């Protein structure tokens, strides 16, 4: 399959990052979101990130303009009709994703591959709502997308070898390292990362140490670039809670039970950096 045009569904932090990487790699991109304001904000984020690259001398002004010109703004999923590939990066909610994939299945050509950027949800279940489960696959990009090299490539039960090979080659064209994992709750990245974050929250909840001490110990003692509580704030505490609930429900083991403090913060609307307050306060 010759991929020339890619739709990215969702213009948030992950979606705009994926759109930037695709456009930088020479693909025509349709950046979609429900609201025009969200799409404009996503494009503005891309522009600002590219501007930093220009300021550092890593990108020319002409190259930035070319990248931005490759991105088309959209508030209609119908614009996926001319795309050979779709990457969904909407909210981490199974019902929302199923609804999007049902619509995409109806609107896109039969040969179009539908990928989801889910960080924890079952690919097989999402694929089952379509008439092309063999062309549905997981592409879990890491945050921030323009910087991080990894893409977890997750095959559903019906995903074909051909689809996997196309996605693998696409990942390499995006200057990423695609690594195949099986369709289990949390896959590999979040099955290991989120329980560590959850345990750090338990340590804070139980008064073992302050948030600053917990983060400093992991940074200085384990050489982590960011402490687990600060990282949770950057991921979004609502996303952390949803992934822990997915792990707990999907694997049935109480070691994945979300910490009550995490649930309390989410209920309070303290979701991390995006709301200005999580474990830390942000201006």
Catalytic residue among 190, 199, 249, 267: 190
Catalytic residue among 45, 117, 120, 140: 140
Calculate the alpha carbon distances from 140 to 119, 125, 150, 190, 224 in Å: 6, 16, 8, 10, 21
Q: Write out the two tokens for 226.
A: 């960011």
- Quick one: which of 73, 165, 150 has its CA closest to 117? 150
Neighbours of 147 (CB within 10 A): 10
Please say if 2 is a catalytic residue: no
Q: How far apart are CA 174 and CA 13, in angstroms?
A: 18
Angle subtended at Cα 170 by Cα 168 and Cα 175, rounded to the nearest 5 degrees: 100
Q: Write out the two tokens for 175.
A: 């200057």
- CA dihedral (273, 71, 150, 233) in degrees, to 10, reads 0
Catalytic residue among 45, 74, 119, 198: 119
Please say if 76 is a catalytic residue: no
Catalytic residue among 152, 223, 245, 267: 152
CA 142 to chain centre: 6
Please say if 223 is a catalytic residue: no
Catalytic residues: 119, 140, 152, 190
């Amino acid at each position: 399959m010759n991929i020339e045009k890619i739709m990215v569904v969702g213009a948030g932090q992950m979606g705009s990052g994926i759109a930037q990487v695709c456009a930088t790699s020479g693909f025509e991109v349709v950046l979609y979101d429900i609201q025009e304001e969200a799409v404009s904000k996503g494009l503005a984020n891309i522009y600002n990130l590219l501007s930093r690259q220009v300021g550092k001398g890593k990108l020319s002004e002409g190259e930035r303009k070319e990248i931005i010109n490759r991105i088309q703004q959209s508030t209609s999923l119908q614009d996926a009709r001319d795309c050979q590939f779709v990457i969904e990066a909407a909210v981490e909610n199974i019902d929302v994703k199923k609804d999007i994939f049902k619509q995409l299945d109806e609107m896109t050509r039969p040969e179009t591959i539908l990928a989801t950027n889910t960080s924890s949800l079952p690919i097989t279940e999402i694929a089952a709502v379509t008439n092309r489960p063999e062309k549905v696959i997981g592409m879990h990009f890491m945050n921030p997308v323009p910087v991080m090299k990894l893409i977890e490539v997750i095959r559903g039960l019906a995903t074909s070898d051909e689809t996997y090979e196309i996605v693998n080659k696409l990942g390499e064209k995006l200057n990423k390292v695609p690594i195949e994992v099986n369709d289990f709750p949390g896959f590999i990245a979040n099955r290991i990362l989120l329980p560590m974050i959850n345990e750090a929250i338990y340590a804070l909840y139980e008064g073992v140490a302050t948030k600053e001490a917990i983060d400093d110990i992991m940074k200085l003692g384990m050489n982590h670039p960011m402490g687990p509580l600060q990282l949770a704030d950057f991921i979004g505490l609502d996303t952390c809670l949803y992934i822990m609930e997915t792990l707990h429900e999907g694997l049935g083991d109480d070691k994945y039970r979300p910490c009550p403090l995490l649930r309390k913060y989410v209920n309070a609307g303290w979701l991390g950096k995006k709301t200005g307050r999580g474990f830390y306060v942000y201006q």
